[in-house]
Amino acid sequence: NDLIITRFLDQYETELTDTDVSALSLLFEMSDNDLLDVLLGRTEPSGVYDTPDIRRLVGIMQKL
């Protein structure tokens, strides 16, 4: 998780909007294992994490 998130933040931190920061804050509330599954594409965000903003950010992270 840390490696993926660090790469993402290194590249996009200065471009993040308030909406992005809110979506990331919510995403970071996931358990480590669930977050890793989402970031590796093993599962899709679900429940409160299934938002367009989270899906967009996860998609960007998965491409890094």
What is the predicted pLDDT for the residue at 22?
97
Q: Model confidence over 1-36: pLDDT tens digits?
A: 999 999 999 999 999 999 999 999 999 999 999 999
Sign of CA dihedral 16, 20, 21, 25: negative
Instruction: Give dist(CA 58, CA 54) in Å, integer.
Output: 6
What is the predicted pLDDT for the residue at 23?
97
Radius of gyration of the chain (CA): 11
Instruction: Give dist(CA 11, CA 32) in Å, integer.
Output: 22
Q: Output the pTM of the full model.
A: 0.91
What is the predicted pLDDT for the residue at 4?
95
